[in-house]
Amino acid sequence: MLIDSYAKINLSLRVLSKRPDGYHEIETLFSTIDLHDSLKFALTKKPAVKILSNIAELCSENNLAYLISQRIRADFGIKAGLEIHIEKRIPVAAGLGGGSSNAAVTFLALRKLFQIEMDEEYMQSVAAEYGSDINFFFIGGLAKGSSRGEIITPLPDLDEQELLLVNPGITISSSEAYQLADKEIIECPSSGLWFNDLEAGIRKKYHVVDNILLDLKLNGANEFMMSGSGPTCIGRFQDKLKQRSVLKYFRSKNMWCRIVRTLTRRQYQNVLKA
């Protein structure tokens, strides 16, 4: 079985408070975009799970797709083995939800491959144990994430957006991003779209992210922000010729950059059903 695994961006992210369990209470707006990995699932006679990938560091027992596969096999008493090949295109630890998306499609693929009765309540409950945004990838489109981000409320889709993504090639863990946010005093909570309460701490420590956002501003982006826990930055341009010029500019600096489009819920669901 071959299935595409799509990325997300955060169009807003507000940090409300730190919770007793060490996580943070947040409100965020997720949107799926047309950047994707491809995952190939194959049953094997050997009773084990094996991860293969074009990115060596993903071939690990810490990979979310591996952990979810093992959990499902244990919960449903499945003896058959599984091989998962991940063709990675979404940057790793980049604020684009690549690992969480891979985990979500693993639920869907294994439900079909193993022909098991796996209801939505089980999927959402288990997914929340392994990541705060996995649940979003069961529905896609535009949605609000609350609590740790795992409580998902579908929202009407926005008009399609064409956006420029720029990633400097560094990795930032979610835990570090929130630790840095704890050091920032957010006196005036933002509202609407195009803000990220994690951004200030990241910009202060990682000057390369600050420079990307300044470059987006100086080069005519109408809106610009960091996605999720970073370091990927988003720029929205009304002038599409300018957008392509800025794409070339960042490519000349040897940075990963792509022009992407947002996906509606219907578009996303049609892909998952294909």
Q: How far apart are the first and last CA of the chain?
A: 11
Angular region, 192: left φ>0, alpha ψ -120 to 50, beta rest? left
**18, 57, 76, 107, 125 from 62: Cα distances, Å:** 26, 10, 21, 16, 19
The full DSSP string for 157-195 is: PPPP-EEEEEE-S----HHHHHHHHHTS---S---SSSE
C-alpha span between 88 and 55 (Å, rounded)? 7
Q: Are 216 and 204 in contact (CB under 8 A)?
A: no
157 is catalytic: no
- From the list 242, 11, 246, 23, the residue with the least C-alpha distance to 150 is 23
d(CA 55, CA 58): 6
Could you say which of 34, 133, 157, 215 is catalytic?
133
Q: Nearest to residue 12, comparing CAs of 263, 247, 234?
A: 234
Q: Do 86 and 153 meet the contact criterion of CB atoms below 8 Å apart?
A: no
Catalytic annotation present for 133:
yes
Which listed residue (8, 88, 157, 197) is catalytic?
8
* CB within 8 Å of 273: residues ≥ 6 apart: none
Cα angle: 99, vertex 5, 270; to 5 degrees: 145
Q: How far is CA 137 from CA 18, 38, 126, 233, 267, in A?
A: 25, 15, 14, 21, 13
Using the 8-state DSSP alphabet, how is residue 138 labeled? Answer: G
Residues annotated catalytic, as ranges:
8, 133
